[in-house]
Chains A and B, each alone.
Chain A
Amino acid sequence: MSESVIRLYDGITNIDEDIIEEAEGYVPNVINVNWKRWGALAASLVIIGAGAFGLFRSGLLKPAAGEEVYSTDSTAGQGEDNAPAAMPAEVPAEEPAYEWAEEPAEAPAEDTMEMPVEEKDAVSEETAPVNPILHVDFDPGTGYQAVCYRDIAERYDPLFDEHDPEFIRLDANDITEDDLGEEMGRVTEGECAGCRVYRIGALPEVDAYILDYGGWYGFIMSE
């Protein structure tokens, strides 16, 4: 061992006493490392919780069941089970099936409502467009009127026999899934937002449609 190292040893022996005291009392920061770990874990949980809450509030995360007013599936034939809470349990047989159309506060006139319908390809793959003329017939902002089948029949066929069993029934309460024609899309705004719109199966070429109001059906026709 060289003398130089011994001198260095002597030099270290003479370092300031306060430095020695400090080193003697020094506790490595290992406890803080544990706190950092737990702190990071807690922060992660808080962030995840806040994120989930935010998603829920924003509507991207929805409860598993029971909250959808307008089902994306065809509910024709399922009757009251899927009917929205605001809907009457039963519509009197003689009343027109477009009772719902009288409700909107901003309706320009009685029995008239704005029925903008989005293009189906903008909704989801499930509602991918089946009819390329959808945007022509259902441009957003186009006005549609709730009507009874008689109105449709009179417009398109004055000689139509309302008792002809070959044709669709007059009463919208009697509409079933079998009466639905080609799906046109869904209403994007207003009280009926989310409702699916179908051509009338028996009259696919007319400018009149069936509105699926959560399991209840109504006829609509452009003004």
Chain B
Amino acid sequence: MIVDLYWDRDENAITQTDIKYGAFCRGLAKNILSLMEDAEECVNDTYHKAWMSMPSERPAKLKAWLGRVVRNTALDQWRKNHAQRRYGGMDVMLSELEDCLPDPKTVEQEMEAAELGENISRWLRTLSREDRALFVLRYWKGESVSDLAKKWRTTPSKLSQKMYRLRQSLKSELEKEGVYL
């Protein structure tokens, strides 16, 4: 297992990670940051963080764990470079996610990301498998609406309507749960 290589401090761990998950990490980073060079930098940072995080951490599912690191790294990179450049993918995605925010008047309580993640996970489990996959592929993996529409053999506008309903559903769920951001 690749995780064992990290735990054994075997430098081959990063090579094996890149062989097995490199495309996934680059794709995810590219979806979020839009620019390939930034995505490549993001992936390299992710491998570095993985090397530094293990053996203290032992992820049960390395792919999902790497994806989480990529997203965090991409966010950091976005923050760092946002003043100079505009990342289309990230901006559009975050703009859409604003639909999920409860009304500003009621935003009083901050929630830890992990707890919020659990909340969202619970909500996701109430959805159909298809809707759940759509939401995750769009807002976790950052795939574009047009790409998803091709996969689902539908039009981007129809898919956008579906995504809008999903965001409204999440918003309702978060408000119902008393989650304020």
Say if the beta carbon of B5 comes within 8 Å of chain A.
no
Say if the beta carbon of A5 comes within 8 Å of chain B.
yes
Quick check: A1 and B140 within 8 Å, CB to CB? no
Quick check: A9 and B132 within 8 Å, CB to CB? no
Say if the beta carbon of B176 comes within 8 Å of chain A.
no
Bound together, the chains give a CA A24 to CA B67 distance in angstroms of 11
Say if the beta carbon of A11 comes within 8 Å of chain B.
yes
Say if the beta carbon of A124 comes within 8 Å of chain B.
no
Quick check: B101 and A14 within 8 Å, CB to CB? no
Question: Contacts of B141 on A, CB cut-off 8 Å?
Answer: 23-24
Quick check: B116 and A7 within 8 Å, CB to CB? yes
Quick check: A22 and B152 within 8 Å, CB to CB? no
Question: Contacts of A17 on B, CB cut-off 8 Å?
Answer: 60-61, 64-65
Closest beta carbon of chain B to A132's beta carbon, Å:
69
Quick check: B151 and A28 within 8 Å, CB to CB? yes
Question: Contacts of A16 on B, CB cut-off 8 Å?
Answer: 117-118, 121, 124
Quick check: A15 and B97 within 8 Å, CB to CB? no
Quick check: B116 and A23 within 8 Å, CB to CB? no
Quick check: B137 and A13 within 8 Å, CB to CB? no
Q: Which of A15, A22, A29, A30 contacts B117 (CB 8 A)?
A: A15
Say if the beta carbon of A8 comes within 8 Å of chain B.
yes
Say if the beta carbon of B30 comes within 8 Å of chain A.
no
Question: Contacts of B113 on A, CB cut-off 8 Å?
Answer: 7, 10-11, 13-14
* Chain A binder among B34-42, B48-56, B68-76: B68-76
A1-50 residues at the B interface, CB under 8 angstroms? 1-2, 4-24, 26, 28-30, 33
Bound together, the chains give a CA A24 to CA B63 distance in angstroms of 10
Quick check: B71 and A13 within 8 Å, CB to CB? yes
Question: Contacts of B132 on A, CB cut-off 8 Å?
Answer: 19, 22-23
The 6 closest A-B pairs by CB, nearest first: A14-B117, A11-B116, A23-B136, A17-B64, A26-B133, A10-B113
Enumerate chain B interface residues (CB-CB to A < 8 A).
Answer: 60-61, 63-65, 67-68, 71-72, 75, 82, 91, 94-95, 97-98, 100-101, 107, 110-111, 113-114, 116-121, 124-125, 129-130, 132-133, 135-137, 139-141, 151-153, 181
7 of the cross-chain contacts (CB-CB < 8 Å) are A5-B101, A10-B72, A11-B116, A14-B68, A23-B137, A30-B153, A33-B153
Extra A-B contacts (16), CB below 8 Å, given A10-B75, A20-B63: A1-B91, A2-B101, A4-B107, A5-B95, A6-B75, A6-B94, A11-B113, A11-B117, A11-B119, A13-B72, A16-B121, A20-B61, A20-B64, A23-B137, A23-B141, A26-B137
